[in-house]
Amino acid sequence: MQEFLDQLQKQVPGLIIKAQQADIDHACTDWRKRYQTTALAVLEPANTKQVQGIVKLCDQFNVAISTQGGNTGLVGGAVPAAEGSAARRAHVVLKTGRIRETLEIDESNLTLTASVGYTLHEIQEYALAHDLLFPLSLASEGTCTLGGNLASNAGGVAVLRYGNTRELCLGLEYVNAQGGLCGDLRGLRKNNTGYDLRHLLIGSEGTLGIVTTACMKVYPAPKSRCVAWLNVDDIQAAVDALGFLQSRLFSELSSYEWMNANAIDVVQTHFPAKAPTCPGASDHVLAEFTSLGPEPALREQVTKTLEALLEEQTSVRNIAIAQNGREIETFWALRENISEAQAKEGLNVKHDVACTVSQLPVFHDMAMNAIEEYGVEVRPVLFGHLGDGNLHFNLSALKGVDSAAFLKQQQGLLNELVHETILQCGGTVSAEHGIGQLKAELLREITSASNYGAFVAIKQAMDPKNLFNPGKLVLI
């Protein structure tokens, strides 16, 4: 494949080509270090034209492309397929971090157009400098890129109010499997002129094309913020409290995060922040409210509503309202550091599931009962975006038990029990993390033959040589 690399250097001037083993190893190792694969080279284009040149040569030499943003995904979607996979072949990793041609705002249209190499944090800060809000918010926002957010249809903590990445995208441009530039960046909210291709590309995990630029919605930046911590009896109490708050503060409630006792215990073991506690209450809720109005008015409104909640629902035991920015940071640190704290304690069986909010307590109890019936001893470290029905149902070994041995012995059974239960509850096995290569076989198993056939037909029509991210999402 030296001729391929030589032609890249010749025909795509300015392209950075990294063929050193250390660079390849770094780019071919996923965030969780679950997949450690290989590639011919790591390519770092600086603009859309270079992406087109890369794709045309990959088409000519039959070289597959794994597109990678910040490489923060959790399902192996941004690294080449694992060794031994039927999808393994000559491969390059195309990193998008240098693609920074466009970053602009149309304040009258409330849209932001950006190249995919910008990190989510950079886009948030750019919008804020114009007194506007780009509401997508993730724990990895300092590293993850707009391109990765679009490819995975990222969710995060503000979906309850603003929706997933899909709801925030008005248009995008992408490079197709022949190197052509497709799409639409006009930022129109009404446009019924044919198939809306952006919805195929969003969430496609790099299997249908390489997104290079996108037009996203922005909103007037909130002028006030109020964050509360609730101590509740269980997940059912958290769901009931959510209904109460939405019936009174629907427009102000922007985030609603639930955490069980183990999740907070793990964080407090490894980080200095301490959560408000209350005798008799085991679980926790973090609720954030924002408004375009003055902060005193919002705080008064939230305080009165929470006081009424305490009086009406005895399963809500205590409520603490952050009194300043420092306390807000402490509350959010408790939620955002759960995954990192879990990693410090060793390997665990992760699940990213979702169902209707009303079914979450049913799923929770069914899944825990099933695990108990099979005699598997686990420490459930459960948390998630309860406001939109998404739970990170993570299961750790008991304290003192080797986590690697636990994973090896129990992961298969626990996955089966959790996936079976969430499907029985009308839910999904992947809420916001995607399918990647981790769940590609599972997707084929749980999807109807007709639906999966449609997936395959779309993939074959848009990428007939299977150049884009083979072995991920749809298996052909």
What is the identity of the amino acid at 407?
Answer: L
pLDDT higher than 70, residue 87: no
The pLDDT, as a whole number, for residue 418 is 98
pLDDT (tens digit per residue) in 183-201: 999 999 999 999 999 999 9
The pLDDT, as a whole number, for residue 32 is 86
What's the average model confidence in pLDDT over 404-410?
95
pLDDT higher than 80, residue 83: no
Considering the four listed CATH numbers 3.50.50.60, 3.30.70.2740, 3.90.1720.10, 3.40.50.1100, the one that applies to the domain covering 346-424 is 3.30.70.2740
What percentage of the chain exceeds 90 in pLDDT? 95
SS (H, E, C) the chain: CHHHHHHHHHHCCCCEEECCHHHHHHHCECCCCCCECCCCEEEECCCHHHHHHHHHHHHHHCCEEEEECCCCCCCCCCCCCCCCCCCCCCEEEEECCCCCCCEEEECCCCEEEEECCCEHHHHHHHHHHCCEECCCECCCCCCCEHHHHHHHCCCECCHHHHCCHHHHEEEEEEECCCCCEEEECCCCCCCCCCCCCHHHHCCCCCCCCEEEEEEEECEECCCEEEEEEEEECCHHHHHHHHHHHHHHHCCCEEEEEEECHHHHHHHHHHCCCCCCCCCCCCEEEEEEEEECCCHHHHHHHHHHHHHHHHHHCCCEEEEEECCCHHHHHHHHHHHHCHHHHHHHHCCEECCEEECCHHHHHHHHHHHHHHHHHCCCCCEEEEEEEHHHCEEEEEEECCCCCCHHHHHHHHHHHHHHHHHHHHHHCCCECECCCCCCCCCHHHHHHHCCHHHHHHHHHHHHHHCCCCCECCCCCCCC
pLDDT higher than 70, residue 85: no
Q: What does the alpha-carbon distance between residue 109 and residue 236 come to, in Å, rounded to a whole number?
A: 41
The pLDDT, as a whole number, for residue 33 is 87
Q: Mean pLDDT over all residues of the chain?
A: 96
pLDDT (tens digit per residue) in 11-58: 999 999 999 999 999 999 999 888 999 999 999 999 999 999 999 999
Q: Could you state, in order of their start, the residue ranges of all structural domains in the chain?
A: 103-220, 224-338, 346-424
The pLDDT, as a whole number, for residue 89 is 84
Residues 6+ apart with CB under 8 A from 5: 17, 19, 40, 41
What's the average model confidence in pLDDT over 388-399?
96
pLDDT higher than 60, residue 439: yes
The CATH code of the domain at 103-220 is 3.30.465.10
CATH architecture of 224-338: 2-Layer Sandwich (3.30)
The pLDDT, as a whole number, for residue 145 is 98
Quick check: do 224-338 and 346-424 share a fold?
yes
The band of 86, judged by pLDDT with boundaries at 50, 70 and 90, is low
Q: What does the alpha-carbon distance between residue 269 and residue 435 come to, in Å, rounded to a whole number?
A: 32
Q: Which residues pair with 348 in a beta bridge?
A: 396
pLDDT higher than 90, residue 379: yes
